[in-house]
Amino acid sequence: MRAKILVARATFPDVIERLQQQFDVESNQEDKIFSAAELHEKMQGKDAVVITSSEKLSAEVIAANSHLKAICNVAVGYNNIDVAAASSAGIMVTNTPDVLNETTADYAWTLLMANARRVSESEHFLRAGEWKNWRFDQFLGADVHGATLGILGMGRIGQAIARRSMGFDMQVIYHNRSRLTPEQEAHANHARYVSKEELLRSADHLILVLPYSAQTHHIIGAAELALMKPTATLVNIARGGIVDDAALIAALREKRIASAGLDVYENEPALNPGFLTLSNVVLTPHIGSGSEKTRRAMADCASANLVAALSGVQPPNLINPEVIDAN
């Protein structure tokens, strides 16, 4: 009998067509995020579900769907899934690491540069027809070259970001749960491990690349922002919730830091309206991994995990191998 799967967010049609050759596929064709109740209803009778970080699978929903064999996330981050609950229910959980490292690192730099050189702010000014004269002091920004780049969270994406700084003659400092090996540090533009406090105090440009968890919730709040230089810029391409958005808005409004480039938010897609009143921010809708090539690679990676899980083979990106060990 063919396995039944739910693809909870629309993806490339040819990816769906390929899945349909092997499985009975129900796929979300609407431009909407399923609520927990809708997901629960649609997962009835399904063997596996493919989701993105927008779909939340709580312990409660997972416990009520213990018939699932696999939950395949099309994202590297998986804080949207209660993995412990999935493991207790014997459900495999997979993600899509590595394929997005370079594209996401590119995007961190996109936001850093746009932020430092006030690209959004000056474009709005131009589009509003306010550009009457070239002025010497118009939209003066911060230099990127020669500056100190701080990275909080030095996993694979953090290291890819650091490598790119070589061309800008930057000094790289980082803080991470664990220190990199000397070889990794050398490869990451000779990144220097520092305390979180020193990172905050010394970075001219600070990029956040941490996963979201109870431990990283609001890891950047009012106290941390207060340590940063008033000229510093902040970039978050990781997860909303690692930054206290209200505290960040206050710091930006009072110019306690210079600017922020944000791709993720605490309650996305809802935005704290305070952000929209600020000119010293660059705001984008969670598109860090959004190149054509990488989103395809992510869809293919999730498909490969799904096919393996439903064929009784260990998926290449299994997050909870204890599920297999238990059998």
- Residue positions annotated with a catalytic role: 239, 268, 286
Q: Under rule CB under 6 A, how many of the chain's residues touch ligand 8YV?
A: 9
Binding part of the chain for ligand 8YV, among 71-79, 126-134, 254-262, 270-278 by CB under 6 A, reads 71-79
Q: DSSP letter for 291, please.
A: -
- Report the nearest approach of ligand 8YV to the CB of residue 124 (Å): 26
Cα(74)–Cα(255) distance, rounded to whole angstroms?
A: 37
Instruction: Write out the two tokens for 143.
Output: 């230099």
- Report the nearest approach of ligand 8YV to the CB of residue 61 (Å): 17
Half-sphere exposure of 160 (CA within 13 A, CB side): 16
Cα(236)–Cα(144) distance, rounded to whole angstroms?
A: 17
Closer by beta carbon to ligand 8YV, 75 or else 92: 75
Closer by beta carbon to ligand 8YV, 140 or else 270: 270
3-state secondary structure of 51: strand
Helix-helix angle 292-310:13-20, to 10 degrees: 20
Closer by beta carbon to ligand 8YV, 213 or else 277: 213
Q: DSSP letter for 273, please.
A: G
3-state secondary structure of 163: helix
Cα(46)–Cα(32) distance, rounded to whole angstroms?
A: 20
Binding of ligand 8YV by 76 (CB under 6 A): yes
Binding of ligand 8YV by 75 (CB under 6 A): yes
Closer by beta carbon to ligand 8YV, 87 or else 95: 95
Binding part of the chain for ligand 8YV, among 12-20, 34-42, 75-83, 245-253 by CB under 6 A, reads 75-83
Among 115, 289, 303, 320, binds ligand 8YV (CB under 6 A): 289
Contact characters 93-122, ligand 8YV, x per CB under 6 A: -------x----------------------
Residue with tokens 């905050």: 200
Task: Restricting to residues 20-59, name those near ligand 8YV by CB under 6 A.
Answer: 52-53
Closer by beta carbon to ligand 8YV, 202 or else 236: 236
- Report the nearest approach of ligand 8YV to the CB of residue 204 (Å): 26
Backbone angles phi, psi at 44, to 5 degrees: -60, 130
The distance of Cα 241 from the centroid of its chain, to the nearest Å, equals: 11
Cα(297)–Cα(16) distance, rounded to whole angstroms?
A: 14
Q: Give the interface with ligand 8YV as residue ranges (CB under 6 A).
A: 52-53, 74-77, 100, 288-289
